[in-house]
Amino acid sequence: MTLVMQTRRHIGAQGVTGSLYPRAPISWDSLSFPSEFHSARGDHQTFYCVLEACKLSSNSRTAAEIHARIIRFGYRTYPSLIANLISTYAHCDRLNLARQLLDQSFVGEFDLVFVNMIIGSLMKAGECGLAKKVFYKMPTRDTVTWNSIIGGCVRNSRFEEALRFFREMLSSNVEPDAFTFAPLLSGCARLGSLYNAQWVHTVMIEKNIEQNHILGAALVDMYSKCGRIQSAKEIFCSVRRNDVSVWNAMINGLASHGLGLDAIAIFLEMELEKASPDSITFLGILKACSHCGLVEEGRKYFDQMRSYYSIMPQLHHYGAMVDLLGRAGLLEEAFAVIDSMPMEPDIVIYRALLSACRTYKKPELGEAAIVNISHLRSGDYVLLSNIYCSINRWNSAERVREAMKKTGVRKNRGKSWVELVGTIHQFKAGDRSHPETEAIYGVLEGLIQRIKFEGFASVTELVLMDVSDEEKGESLNYHSEKLALAFAILKTSPGKEIRIFKNLRICHDCHCWIKVVSTVLSRVIIVRDRIRFHRFQGGFCSCGDYW
């Protein structure tokens, strides 16, 4: 059945009558549409305006009614109207109708502005495949077209694909603008791809793109997240700091690298330059204090944001305070902060508390936190199980694991990746899918033996099994970050800095193990985990074993 026939079947003159939508008639007056719309016909401009209203209200019933009238009154040959209808269906989450209408249309007839709107709408709805289908059907593309597809890829976490489209854009002789680079810088930051970050920055300079505060903040954030905090500082000093976003990027970058005092120094400089901080500024400062154990400073800034700057703490500020106090072992005070909150604490706050209970082996408090988590996820179960394992309460740990099985919850699998000349190599625990697996495991086995010779013993207290220490050590030997490190050692020259990225928090055993490796190999090893950066050198970590 064609889309036209489907629409006619589902739409009646008095409203929607088919099974696709409820039978309730549409109240035109309540939508405040133009009076001419209520006439027998209306014109295509009126339909265009109503479709725009449908996008804002996500009103798919009304969009379908407009579709029926477009067909009835012969406007199906108006490309701009059909393009807007496709975009509206995508906005209203009626992707099946958008897809069918697109298949029956010839994109080349559409106005370029409206095709760009379609791509943007589809990307916003997460329909990357459909957006790309539109993109490749287009006979001509302008800068906005490329920006829509690149920005959409970044929005949907397709960072490498965004970079590929950018290369295609350059080869097609379409000039990028500031709106091209903003999402690309963000994509490089989230990917942690220093090679691509430096290349994109170089192209930006070559194209003489004027740096506004958005690009300035994006550059600072990008270099911070790619492990080059010194480069981020240099960018920060070179750009205009006329917007709070630039200050926030620098403060948050320093916080993620564990440079709490440096972050505070930037905040003091900000005050001297009469720049007004916002809620994001204070969130960055509180995180910086949390990563470095600066409890008194954290308390001071939490109070200052209310008393001096009249910024009322939001949920994430309270979460940062709970994290700060929990990391410092002040669990009772952390509970008191939760009790004093003027809003309901969210699951993130209780997880921060649960993590602290694990660190300080407080199962009773951990259980109290679990009671307040209405929807347990894999990380919550694992944290509680780890608490029990750390104090050898194996039966309790086993009950938690059984609860995970019953509820169908699976532990999030850790993955780590390294970048070599712009190519990302990804690993999971025990992974043997890499083409150079045999060589990687050979390097890792050699490292394990060498580290043992140095006197290293695996940190097994949090392994979720009641088995011998030797068996526990075996389960720890092939974590994803160790495989990624072995690969980086295999493929890089001695003495070169190694950067590893990880989707979860680095475990205690890997943290201790990499400290020893940095001494044995005389190399700097940087690991960015879900929480922060760890810079290993000479047997020490920049976190001071406080993370």
* Most confident stretch, 71-75, 95-99, 248-252, 472-476: 248-252
- The backbone torsions φ and ψ at residue 423, rounded to the nearest 5 degrees and listed phi first, read -105, 130
What pLDDT score was predicted for residue 201? 97
Residue bearing the bigger pLDDT, 523 or 127: 523
**What are the residues facing 418 on neighbouring strands?**
425
Residue-wise pLDDT for 352-394, tens only, equals: 887 888 788 787 777 776 666 655 555 666 666 766 766 666 6
**pLDDT (average), residues 447-470:** 67
Residue 34: predicted pLDDT: 44
Question: Top-level CATH class of 315-412?
Answer: mainly alpha
Q: What is the pLDDT of residue 516?
A: 94
Residue 466 has pLDDT above 60, yes or no: no
Most confident of 66-80, 87-101, 241-255, 414-428: 241-255
Beta strands at 415-420 and 423-428: parallel, antiparallel or unpaired: antiparallel
Report the mean per-residue pLDDT for the chain: 82
Is 71's pLDDT higher than 70? yes
Taking the CB of residue 157, how many other CB atoms lie within 10 A of it?
A: 12
* pLDDT above 60: residue 2: no
Q: Are the CB atoms for 105 and 86 separated by under 8 Å?
A: yes
pLDDT value at residue 370: 67
pLDDT, average across residues 114-139:
83
Which residue intervals of 308-408 are DSSP H helices? 315-327, 331-340, 347-359, 363-371, 378-390, 394-407
pLDDT grade for 79, boundaries at 50, 70 and 90: low
pLDDT of residue 21 exceeding 50, the answer is: no
| Closest C-alpha among 153, 167, 227, 151 to residue 194 | 227
- Of all residues in the chain, what percent carry a pLDDT higher than 70? 80
- Confidence category of residue 57, pLDDT binned at 50, 70, 90: confident
Provide the pLDDT for residue 89. 82
pLDDT of residue 50: 82
Residue with tokens 């990804």: 426
Q: By CB neighbour count within 10 A (0-12 exposed, 13-18 middle, 19+ buried), where does 500 fall?
A: buried
| pLDDT over threshold 50, residue 494 | yes
**pLDDT above 60: residue 53:** yes
pLDDT tens, residue by residue, 297-345: 999 999 999 999 999 999 999 999 999 999 999 998 998 999 899 998 8
Give me the long-range contacts of 274-279 (CB less than 8 A, separation at least 24). 275/241, 275/244, 275/247, 276/244, 276/309, 277/244, 277/247, 277/305, 277/309, 277/311, 278/244, 278/248, 278/311, 279/305, 279/311, 279/314, 279/317
Confidence of residue 5 (pLDDT cuts 50, 70, 90): very low
Q: Quick one: pLDDT at residue 374?
A: 53
Q: What angle do CA 414, 416, 418 make, to 5 degrees?
A: 175
pLDDT higher than 50, residue 28: no
Q: Say whether pLDDT at 541 is over 50.
A: yes
Which pLDDT does position 392 carry in this prediction? 66
> What does the pLDDT read at residue 300?
97
Q: In whole angstroms, what is the distance from residue 34 CA to residue 48 CA?
A: 11
Give per-residue pLDDT as tens, 396-451.
777 767 776 776 666 667 899 999 988 999 999 888 999 999 999 999 999 999 99
On the question of pLDDT at 99 being above 70, the answer is yes
When mean pLDDT is compared across 11-25, 174-188, 383-397, the lowest value belongs to 11-25
pLDDT of residue 373: 61
Q: Choose the most confident range, by mean pLDDT, from 63-72, 86-95, 217-226.
A: 217-226
Cα–Cα distance between 30 and 36 in angstroms, integer? 15
The better pLDDT of the pair 52, 110 is held by: 52
**pLDDT value of residue 16:** 33
Assess whether pLDDT exceeds 50 at residue 150.
Answer: yes
The ranges of the chain annotated as CATH 1.25.40 are 315-412
User: Which one has a higher pLDDT value, 203 or 406?
Assistant: 203
* pLDDT for the residue 65: 80
Burial class (CB in 10 A: 0-12, 13-18, 19+), 167: exposed
Estimate to the nearest angstrom the gap between the alpha carbon of 45 and the chain centroid. 40
